[in-house]
């Protein structure tokens, strides 16, 4: 706690400001399809939950910046029956609305999409007066996905809009709808096609997730297109009638970070937007997006404005993690406190989930303990094991859980542990079990990658006397890998025994899909056999999650390239910038002199460099912040220039973009020299001022980070023991590396600070 407080103080000194800022993602962890709603001074967001139970989380905020989990729409088995539901099926893309003093949710449940077997998604909606107790679902007539209930303020009618086949011949999908009875679910008016989107030639990229807004005599239909990955985007059409015909907006796509080939940006897969008007008349849009380092789809927010009768999101610019929403220079991204669950309450914290609808109660909370009631199912089964899970909310964090002590012993099939869980095909576990081919109990780790499994075990004790308290299991997550470890009573640091690349916890294996994201879980299982009647009761006493502000990897350079705050505060962020340079020098392209090229290359190649560095250099220690801060400032300057060029490009004046905005023919392309000349003539003063400020800020940050380093050494004197070893090895492998640092010192005016 003291270390975290010290780091928080350091960040405050670096970036202090009293203005509240909105930072993305506003709802971290896998929370796709964020549907936002304002009722008076309160804001609410509902997101998809898929096969997780309880279903459809609802978050609350007063200021759009700070969100807390308020409730779930489906908490009773009779509301949402997800028995045996495959991964990422279940409840999709809810739409939240308010009508006649009631909250409404429209959603659908999908077991699988199989036209051959004629298994289709089923649409439903439910209502609540308080967002806590929800009605049983009303099942609707139309079938499709991503429904919304639009309550027309002009006519008072309610319309059900959704994505569905637009004809019976080719089964291409589009947006359709009808006037609907909210009491019966039946269409009470014509059911008709509304809009086929802007990509009608791509069957898998058709419009989905309709959200309707009425403004100024027009009905605006906001849609998601391009599938769910890097082509995902937000588009708009409008009509004078809620049932069309709709005309596409001239500024489509409204959001699309993949436009112009900018797939290196920190935010990708932007889609499923909902517009909301704040109490002060300003407009915003919630949407889903993915942080571009093995991340899941999370809840984001941007400004919205109306220009010539059409919405414009985020000023027409790409969405960047480094940019705040709704505030100017409002300070640093907040540093979350560690999250602790000691099970002291009478009920399980509402942020815990189970897999699918449970048949029976699989846990009990009592006297500061969580007791699990294991069954025959494990995490690799498509059922409901005795497991509870929480969403992973940061790319750099730890998850640890202390086991209950018990008397007796466990058999080889009796397991209790923790897991980094994505699906039944991809989960990485560490825990306790009866030893395989040995006596006593063993610590074990099991890595499951699709159909391949890697196993490890080591004896914990050779007796059957049980487990004393104090055994804690650990998962450490970083952008490039997950590590599994344990610690015994009295040990301050975990021993990590296995690791796996994080890509296995972010993307589905071939032939499958994962729409949810990674979670951390507690589990116990008989692995195909009932839990023995004479086996001990098992469970946990405490769970802790901590953000790792100082555990950065080379991949984190992408945050620095887009104005990040030293890898969210850790001095290893400086390591990330410098560590990539030797790889570039060894590559087919020599070290680029244009900083924005360096920005692109570091992002594109950092994953490959990480593997190289680990094997050849063994770079696992810290590097001196005094030495590396100048080059970080230099790269930040260059990357900021790159973002300005990208902004120039989005405004229609850049290389490889036709020049009709300046009166030239649309077939005439701008050269890089022309773009550079425009950039220099129009933005040079602004950039010079920015460069001056970054030099000063970097100089100030060196002193602050030095103070942080001193505190680190005081708390843990051995933390920098390997600095000399690292520098010696680095110089042996790349003698020019530190020469280049000296060169940067001369260029940035910091004098080697």
Q: Which residues are catalytic?
A: 33, 208
* CB neighbours of residue 55 within 10 Å: 25
Closest to 517 (Cα-Cα) out of 427, 635, 453? 427
Q: Measuring CA to CA, how many Å separate 354 from each of 76, 174, 283, 523?
A: 13, 33, 36, 10
| Alpha-carbon separation of residue 136 from 126, 146, 455, 498 (angstroms) | 6, 19, 44, 45
Closest-CA residue to 123 (of 234, 34, 210): 210
Do the beta carbons of residue 406 and residue 441 sit within 8 Å? no
Residue appearing with tokens 């969403």: 391
Whole-number Å distance between alpha carbons of 315 and 468: 59
The CA distance from 549 to 11, in Å, is 11
Backbone angles phi, psi at 549, to 5 degrees: -75, -20
Phi, psi of 209 (to 5 degrees): 55, 50
Torsion angle of C-alpha atoms 694, 700, 705, 710, degrees rounded to 10: 160
Task: Locate all alpha helices (DSSP H) within 613-671, ordered by sequence.
Answer: 625-650
Helical (H) or strand (E) element with 745: helix 736-748
Asked if 175 contacts 182 with a C-beta cutoff of 8 angstroms, the reply is no
Decide if 697 contacts 16 (C-beta within 8 A).
Answer: no
Q: What is the CA radius of gyration of the chain?
A: 27
Give DSSP secondary structure letters for 261-313: G-TTSSEEEEEEEEEEE-TTS-EEEEEEEEETTT--EEEEEEEEEEETTEEEE
List Cβ neighbours of 237 (8 Å cut-off, separation of 6 or more).
195, 220, 221, 223, 246, 247, 248, 249
Bridge partners, residue 96, by sequence: 105
Per-residue HEC secondary structure of 503-514 comes to HHHCCCCCCCCC
Cα 242 to its chain centre, rounded Å, is 34
What is the C-alpha separation between 397 and 388, in angstroms, rounded? 19
Nearest to 431 by CA among 479, 392, 376, 387: 387
Edge-to-edge strand ranges of the sheet holding 310-313 = 267-277, 283-291, 297-307, 310-313
Do residues 658 and 649 lie in contact, with contact meaning Cβ atoms separated by under 8 Å?
no
Residue among 244, 252, 259, 296 at smallest CA distance from 273: 252
Beta carbons within 10 angstroms of residue 387's beta carbon: 27
Q: Is the peptide bond before 307 cis (omega within 30 degrees of 0)?
A: no
C-alpha to C-alpha distances, 268 to 28, 148, 491, 605, nearest whole angstrom: 15, 24, 41, 18
């Amino acid at each position: 706690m003291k270390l975290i407080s010290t780091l928080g103080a350091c960040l405050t000194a670096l970036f202090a400001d009293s203005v509240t800022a909105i930072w993305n993602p506003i709802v971290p962890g896998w929370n796709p399809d964020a549907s936002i709603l304002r009722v008076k001074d309160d804001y609410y967001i509902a997101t998809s939950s898929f096969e997780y139970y309880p279903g459809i989380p609802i978050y609350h905020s007063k200021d759009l910046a700070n969100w807390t989990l308020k409730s779930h729409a489906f908490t009773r088995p009779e509301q949402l029956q997800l028995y045996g539901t495959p991964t990422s099926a279940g409840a999709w893309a809810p739409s939240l609305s308010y009508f006649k003093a009631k909250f409404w949710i429209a959603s659908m449940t999908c077991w699988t999409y199989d036209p051959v077997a004629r298994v289709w998604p089923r649409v439903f909606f439910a209502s609540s007066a308080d967002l806590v107790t929800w009605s049983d679902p009303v099942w609707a007539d139309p079938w499709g996905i991503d429904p919304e209930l639009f309550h027309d303020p002009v006519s008072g009618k309610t319309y059900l809009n959704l994505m569905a086949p637009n004809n019976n011949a080719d089964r291409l999908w589009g947006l359709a709808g009808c006037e609907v009875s909210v009491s019966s679910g039946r269409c009470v008016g014509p059911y008709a096609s509304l809009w086929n989107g802007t990509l009608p030639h791509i069957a898998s990229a058709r419009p989905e997730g309709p959200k309707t807004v009425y403004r100024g005599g027009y009905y605006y239909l906001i849609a998601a297109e391009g599938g769910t990955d890097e082509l995902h985007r937000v588009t708009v059409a409008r009509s004078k009638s809620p049932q069309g015909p709709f005309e596409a907006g001239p500024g489509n796509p409204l959001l699309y970070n993949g436009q112009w080939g900018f797939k290196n940006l920190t935010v990708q897969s932007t889609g499923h937007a909902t517009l909301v008007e704040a109490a002060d008349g300003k407009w915003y849009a919630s949407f889903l997006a993915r942080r571009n380092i093995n991340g899941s789809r999370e809840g984001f927010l941007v400004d919205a404005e109306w220009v010539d009768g059409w919405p414009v999101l985020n000023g027409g610019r790409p969405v960047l993690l480094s940019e705040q929403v709704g505030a100017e220079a409002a300070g640093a991204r907040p540093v979350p406190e560690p999250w602790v669950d000691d099970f002291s309450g009478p009920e399980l914290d509402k942020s815990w989930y189970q897999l699918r609808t449970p048949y029976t109660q699989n846990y009990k909370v009592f006297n500061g303990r969580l007791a699990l009631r294991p069954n025959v199912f494990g995490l690799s089964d498509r059922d409901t094991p005795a497991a509870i899970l929480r969403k992973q909310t940061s790319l750099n964090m730890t998850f640890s859980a202390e086991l209950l002590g018990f008397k007796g012993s466990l058999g080889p099939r009796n397991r209790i542990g923790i897991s980094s869980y994505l699906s039944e095909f991809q989960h990485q576990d560490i825990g306790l079990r009866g030893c395989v081919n040995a006596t006593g109990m063993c610590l074990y780790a099991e890595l499951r990658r699709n159909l391949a499994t890697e196993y490890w075990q080591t004896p914990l004790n050779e007796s059957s006397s049980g487990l004393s308290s104090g055994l804690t299991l650990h998962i450490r997550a970083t952008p490039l890998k997950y590590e599994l470890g344990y610690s015994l009573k009295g040990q301050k640091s975990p021993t990590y025994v296995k690791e796996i690349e994080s890509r296995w916890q972010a993307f589905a294996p071939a032939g499958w899909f994962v729409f949810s994201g990674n979670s951390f879980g507690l589990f116990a299982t008989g692995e195909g056999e009932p839990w023995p009647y004479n086996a001990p009761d098992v469970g946990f006493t405490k769970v802790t999650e901590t953000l790792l502000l100082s555990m950065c990897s080379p991949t984190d350079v992408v945050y620095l390239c887009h104005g990040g705050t030293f890898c969210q505060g850790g001095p290893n962020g400086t390591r990330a910038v410098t560590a990539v340079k030797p790889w570039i020098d060894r590559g087919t392209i020599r070290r680029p002199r244009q900083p924005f090229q360096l920005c692109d290359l570091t992002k594109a190649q950092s994953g490959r460099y990480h593997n190289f560095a680990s094997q050849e250099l063994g770079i696992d220690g810290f590097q001196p912040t005094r030495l590396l801060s100048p080059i970080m400032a230099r790269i930040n300057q260059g990357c900021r220039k790159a973002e300005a060029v990208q902004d120039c490009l989005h405004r229609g004046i850049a290389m490889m973009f036709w020049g009709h905005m300046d009166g030239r023919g649309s077939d005439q392309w701008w050269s890089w020299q022309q773009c550079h000349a425009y950039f220099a003539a129009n933005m040079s003063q602004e950039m010079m001022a920015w460069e001056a400020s970054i030099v000063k800020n970097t100089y100030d940050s060196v002193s602050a980070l030095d103070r942080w380093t001193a505190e680190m050494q005081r708390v843990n004197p051995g933390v920098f023991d390997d600095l000399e070893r690292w520098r010696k090895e680095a110089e042996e492998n790349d003698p020019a590396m530190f020469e280049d640092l000296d060169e940067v010192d001369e260029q940035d005016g910091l004098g080697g600070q």
